[in-house]
Structure 1
């Protein structure tokens, strides 16, 4: 019976991932043969795809574990990282984005060259490329794969050792993400992100709902009453100096860090540069900020629910709170869908980083080096090779 459940989980996971891949292919077929088509989705992205891609690029499996673990072990103070992003997205939409789109820029370094000079552009490219290739991409791939292993007990699922399962997960996530980035360009990334984002939203609502029902012994209202009236210190969002996010840090750097991330980080803002127009771009960015404000309810309340359910069980680590809750409340028939969404969340961040790194290299290094005398087909070929090389480096790193 267990073997049948594992088979059904893997088959349903594969089916959903295949559906996402097919839809992404149909949406991008014949649209990635030009520079703008490959790197900026033909500058035709609507607000829905921009918001879906930005959110899923930002959220990943390790955040499901980390934020819920923080809520389980401490309180809701870590929500500051999420809700303050709303302020940054407003600034991005109203101040930065109009300037980016007015100049029809393809990358942030290109904007900085226009604002300052080529020296600033080159320095920014070096910082982004080194950071993406040797720090961000490998860490996102590794931490995301670790999260999937913890959430879904992949060693048991595949009947393999932990080390072997980690290698398989890394290669699987990296390979699938690379396929979207290499062959589909930014539009394939945005489309797949949006579909997986809908899946993540469904899971994000379903898990706390089922958790509250379990907490109330079958009654949602009883579970909600227990949540808001028992151990209420767990719902405190004003962090003390001993909490993961002390309240003062919000005003001494967190908002600036969020402003960099949402307003000037190439792999996040690239989909806004491909907006159909300013209105669609602003809608996408503001929708992203709206959903970031909702993140604590989907990614932290389950941790509080887990505390009420398992506080007497002494979990080995707070990072096991969310996996334990999911295993207890999520129906078996949804396990494959859940696994597919988790994998989608991980390779979303990976393929976005890969696509942006290739974009920076091609448009801010290779093209200027050739004195702009390069055809679109040559540029796209170089981008695909660059993406493959960076992907392989990330596996090794």
Structure 2
């Protein structure tokens, strides 16, 4: 079955905005969502991209079983904009078993596991209210979305570190192209937790400063949290959509190192070239690229020099992690949606917090936003273990 993969609707929550409208305001004003770390139980001197609405989320009594910070982010994202209304329109056309779910996450509901271990130590036994097998589960965000939406089709959770929720688009496209389903709700969510904060600190990857992607003085990442969703359908399904299509995707795994990227970006190059080939586009036709750009010394050097080799100077590129922080398993979808949204707003975000470009990086970037009318945009996500994904979205090819 050959058909175009169309984007029907999308929305998100992150530190820079609860919902797309709020995020658009932050991007336009160059207002970062990063704040000095005050996360409970964590004394690390750093900045974090905390979603305060997740900290304050109150679960209805009937839904208390699902309590977790990650599920709160998922619920907040689902409530934004017209996402659930669009899903309901799809459900009027196809049965719930013909709608798939693909969600990316790296932490899932690990905050609840942390609470359970604390309680075990304090009470010298296993607390009954922590025995929730559908929450203390790597598959938890997908289980919750299925519960929340009534979708009963194929459901998978992808966990490939920072590329997790970029790869959801590729999986969904294969399902749609093969006729396994008629629509797919793709998404990603990751939440702040002590395991992640102290884990990345132990790898000496966390900056004490606000993160500065591609800057000479960059010295590490700021960890953020986020959740986002996009509703995808085949073009032969008679439903109104945005006119935006997933035109290309590429995936690779170079397995160079547990945490460091390949020094020449070999796997990243393969993912990018696959995406361009699938979209039948030359690099010069890409108008905007949302870079992985974490602000770590090695990642930015590798990605920046690779992108300078592959793309002309006319392609506007930026890292948006200065607004959101590195949202790990949610980074793929958050940054893909930021790239997609340039079709609607014409705003091409700059690289926030960039003050002094690293002279060792050939790629020339600007901290300033730009205006444009992109036709093709790309989003890169490169994870631990060499798990790479590159996505291309196009306007009006459906």
TM-score (structure 1 length as normaliser)? 0.25
Higher strand share: 2
TM-score (norm 2): 0.25
Bigger relative CO (Cα 8 Å, ≥ 6 apart):
1
Higher helix share: 1
